[in-house]
Chains A and B, each alone.
Chain A
Amino acid sequence: MTPRATQTSKFLPLPPLDFQVLTLLASQELHGYGIVQASNETFPDQPVLDIGSLYRIISRMLDERLLREVKPPADSPNDKRVRRYYAVTDLGRAVARAEAARLRAMLASPATLALLRVRG
């Protein structure tokens, strides 16, 4: 096992909301409300992220160095509201990728497929 794999494996399996946030931030830098918005658009069938849970996740993932804070982009609205932008770190991206791979492997197993067929 590579050192990176060791680092990622301790985060797995990732809680669904954590995975959701990491996935969203993997493609773009977003502020808090931006994450909620993007989540609603990208995962319309998933439960809505409320602000409390969102920031608890952000706080934890910052501590775990899965996320980092980045400078606001030039086009961010310029009012008095505090908006910090977040992006995934390399570790965060690796963890998200590892979780995605884990989920894909699980979904591709014959047992899951059989389940889906019966249901479908």
Chain B
Amino acid sequence: MKPIAYYMLAAILRAFPSRFRDRFGHEMLAAYLDQRDALQARGERPMAAAWRHDARTILGLLSTLGAKRREEQRQLRSLQDKLPRTESPMQNVLLDLRHALRGMRARPGFVVVAVLTLALGIGANTAVFSVLNSVVLAPLPYRDPGQLVRLYTANRERPDAKEFLPGLDIIDVRDQVAAFSSVGIMYTYRESGADLLTPDGHSQRVRVLPVSAEYFQTLGATPALGRTFTRDEERPNARAIILSHTLWASFSNSDPAFVGRWIDLNGERYEVVGVMRPSFADVTAPDIWAWIPQNLLREGTNSRGNFYLSAIGRLRPGTSVAQAQSQVTAFTRRLDEQFPADEPRRMRVVPLHEDIVGESSSAVYLLMGAAALVLLIACLNVANLFLARSVAQTRETAIRTALGAGRRRLIGQRLTESVAVALAGGLVGSATAYWGVKALLAVSPESLARAEELRFDPLLFAFAVAVTLLTGLLFGAAPAVRASRSDPNDALHDASRGNTAGRSSRHLRGALVASQVSVALVLLVGTGLLLKAFLGQLHRDLGFDSSNVATFEVNLPTARYDSADKRVRFHNAFGERLRGIPGVVSAGAVSWLPTNGKYHQWGYGYLDERGEKKSVPAQVRVVDGDYLKALGIPLLRGRAFNQEDRAGSPSVAMINKGLARRVYGDRDPIGQLFRTGGRFFTVIGVIGDVATDATWERGETLVLSHNQFADDRNWTLTYVVKSTLPMAQVIEGSRQALTELDPALVLYRPRTMDDVVAQHRARDRFVLLLMVTFGAVALTLAAVGVYGVLSYLVTQRNHEIGVRMALGARPAQVRAIVMRQGLVLAGGGVLIGLTFAAGLSGLLHSLASGVDAKDPLVFGAATLVLAVAVLLAGYLPTRRATKVSPLEALRND
């Protein structure tokens, strides 16, 4: 066995100029070994002597290397000095640039493919990383955002639930838990629309959020004008309002004296007490126009059982989320002792940033992974292209070396070429990235949280450019360095012979293509899995029929419609008019549309079989008219509401199948008595389950009649109108009907029910769209890679193919030779890709719901698509191989 120093010496020798190395390398190593043998034979502390000797030899060789290099430089310089024409470095660069441009013109295919590849890689990455950066990574736009947390209620069955908070409990937490420096309480984040009377006498629908006194202080925001709310104003009928900067600007023409004026909201007068700064963005409810005080009196709606509030807390400096959580838990335990509930209270403390981006982040991470894979494929492709190019230029390099071109000049020229191509790619890529971000914005207005903060990030762009540039340089210049170092004689000899030339670079290129194929397959499988999951979701039964249904909201200003009777009469009359429109099949209204999420979760109090008092949470929906019929929700048992169910008659309700099963099991629910909202109701019917939210969850739902329940509050009703008419016509007819009844009312947010449903799928569709794009790009790039390698192969084996054909090989046999090569590459890539995809699909499963991670159909289809692409890419070079004329090929030799 040879000592380690031997290999170190051999390694150092590799750095010597090849002429010296070839001449003396082996001899020097032999001399070293001889010397070492002699030392050991001398036998006096042989190890120590050997080590000293090794160290001395290595150091000596290194210093010789330095001297040798300097010597070479000197020679080169003296040689250059003797040359008749010497250029300044600047002239050299210009010369190189001209040469590069000429080369690019001569090979437009190479340039186009390289530039497009770079552009795709850079563009896709910058766009997606920009989304990631602004949606997920960027901190919230508040002072010390890390101190902000959101408070939720969870339950035993779902410890990670994010339910609303009961009024009295959260008021106690605000005042008694030391972990929080302040707590902002607000009404449910669901929209509460209000009609604002504009100066010109029209009603404008705005979104208003009722908040507690410390809400703005908790977020670290101060008003631009006026003040925020006081605790005295945390009561019903506190007629104070804070305007957003936008609303104030449009409403008062940016009049600073507007604070203190009165405006008309829902028919009641509110005093404008403050205007927020333009920079204040309510990240939890982005399109809020104004804020009014939330009623936090310790009576009425604020009880320990009415879960309807949300809260944001600011932790005291130095307090961790875990500490806050344990303090809150200890506090709610004390509340449990004082005010026992059905189930011990569970209040959760969630970091606000995590809470807001949580749902989007998995989608963005998924896309980021895909974009990284595309960048990887782009880099592999660029590497492949440059490698092929420099191998093709081996002969040219050799000739130039033989004619006396310096290495520095040769490498410099290659670098100029690579940089020129990479810059062109970067230019196109930056346009792609810019438009990519625009496109992302256009496609994802609502689907990603904080998407409004999305912008093009030059830093990320620079990163992507740097990565691709580096790839180009590395793979463009490395072979140039090698080629310039080798003996021009060998290279010229080698290049003319074809087949044996550049075997190592051919293997490298094969490996690159195989990796490309494998990465493309991973992307295709990922895309396929998402596509299948999405299609599956499209065909999932929502429990209702959304086709040909128009929806819009109608809110009655409480000032004019101050009694239940007035409101019932209006809605009955309006419903009647809607049903009178020719073409309308049925029309009804509901307090909250299906799929729009949870809203009004109340307790359903009942006596169980043993006569014990029980309560389960249920979603309460107040309906009017033919709501069930318009949405095609089936009545399973009993009856629906009719004209007899009105104020004064016995209170009745319908429950959905899920609630019936949970509460009554196999017993008949019809005729059962229960209590909600402080009143007793009798169950008269059981209806089918409908999707409550975007995850298609079908919760327990309780349906009450507006005719009987209008006195509870002024319900904003959303109308559903099923018709045979086009959407625009339905809306026009409805608007006319509304104006006839009350010209001051607004027909708010007209949409089709299909749009309402589709909006919840927008994020999935957005992710899918991008994944399909990435998949297509990956497929294209992989095909380009396969094409490149095979056509290179055909060029390389031109001579051999010529000989074979001259000896009588049939075209089919020639095709087989080329195709086999392609299939070996693709096959290897597919095997590796399938392994990776199988590993990654588990990850995909955890990121996107409804993904069957091991779907053999998807894996098979992805492989098939890839195989077809590879075959197509291989077809052209294969055909060209059979077109090789033996005579030509042999003459070229």
Contacts and interface: CB of A to CB of B under 8 A. Distances in A.
Interface in B463-500: none
A112 interface: no
A51 B32 contact: yes
B64 to A, nearest CB: 3
B63 A82 contact: no
Contacts of B23: 59
Interface in B21-44: 23-24, 26-28, 30-35, 38
B30 A56 contact: no
Interface stretch (B53-61, B450-458, B578-586): B53-61
Interface string B13-25: 0000000100110
A73 to B, nearest CB: 16
A50 B63 CA distance: 10
A58 interface: yes
Interface of A: 31-33, 36-37, 48, 50-56, 58-59, 81-84
Contacts of B20: 59
B809 interface: no
Contacts of A56: 64, 67-68
Contacts of A36: 31, 35
A81 B27 CA distance: 7
Given A53-B63, A55-B31, 15 more contacts: A32-B27, A32-B28, A33-B31, A33-B38, A50-B59, A51-B61, A52-B57, A52-B62, A52-B65, A54-B31, A55-B24, A58-B24, A82-B26, A83-B27, A83-B31
B38 A37 contact: yes
Contacts of B24: 55, 58-59
Contacts of A55: 24, 27-28, 31, 64
9 contacts: A37-B38, A51-B28, A51-B35, A52-B62, A52-B64, A53-B64, A56-B68, A83-B34, A84-B27
Contacts, number: 64
A32 B30 contact: yes
Contact of B56 (A33, A50, A82): A50
> Range of interface residues on chain B?
20 to 34
Nearest to A31: B31
Contacts of A58: 24
- List 3 tightest A-B contacts by C-beta distance, closest first: A50-B60, A52-B64, A81-B30
B65 A82 contact: no
Contacts of B32: 51
A32 B28 CA distance: 7
B35 A33 contact: yes
A18 B603 CA distance: 103
Nearest to A52: B64
A33 B60 contact: no
Contacts of B38: 33, 37
B67 A82 contact: no
A24 to B, nearest CB: 14
Nearest to B36: A33
Contacts of A82: 26-27, 30
A82 to B, nearest CB: 4
Interface in B63-108: 63-65, 67-68
A88 B57 CA distance: 25
Nearest to B34: A33
Contacts of A83: 27, 30-31, 34
A56 B65 CA distance: 9
Contacts of B68: 56
Interface of B: 20, 23-24, 26-28, 30-35, 38, 56-57, 59-65, 67-68
Nearest to A84: B27
A64 B415 CA distance: 37
A51 B23 CA distance: 14
A117 B98 CA distance: 71
A32 to B, nearest CB: 4
A10 to B, nearest CB: 16
Contacts of B67: 56
A78 to B, nearest CB: 13
Contacts of A59: 20, 23-24
A37 B38 CA distance: 10
A104 to B, nearest CB: 29
A53 B31 CA distance: 13
A60 to B, nearest CB: 8
A51 B65 contact: no
B41 to A, nearest CB: 12
B33 A51 contact: no
Contacts of A84: 27
Given A33-B35, A36-B35, A81-B33, A52 B27 contact: no
Nearest to A54: B31
B31 A32 contact: yes
Contacts of B56: 48, 50
A20 to B, nearest CB: 15
Contacts of A53: 60, 63-64
Contacts of B64: 50, 52-53, 55-56
A56 B23 CA distance: 11
A80 to B, nearest CB: 9
A18 to B, nearest CB: 14
A81 B60 contact: no
Contacts of B61: 50-52
A55 to B, nearest CB: 5
Nearest to A37: B38
Contacts of B62: 52
Nearest to A77: B34
A53 to B, nearest CB: 6
- Most B CB atoms within 10 A — which of A52, A58, A83, A84? A52
Nearest to B20: A59
A36 B37 CA distance: 14
A52 B60 contact: yes
B583 to A, nearest CB: 98
B61 to A, nearest CB: 4
Contact of B60 (A31, A32, A37, A51): A51
Nearest to B12: A52
Nearest to A35: B31
B57 A51 contact: yes
A36 B67 CA distance: 20
A55 B24 CA distance: 7
A83 B30 CA distance: 7
B222 to A, nearest CB: 74
A48 B35 CA distance: 12
A16 B723 CA distance: 109
A79 to B, nearest CB: 9
Contacts of A33: 30-31, 34-35, 38
Contacts of B35: 33, 36, 51
Contact of B57 (A32, A50, A81): A50
A32 B34 CA distance: 9
A48 B20 CA distance: 22
A85 to B, nearest CB: 11
A59 B21 CA distance: 11
A51 B63 contact: no
A94 to B, nearest CB: 25
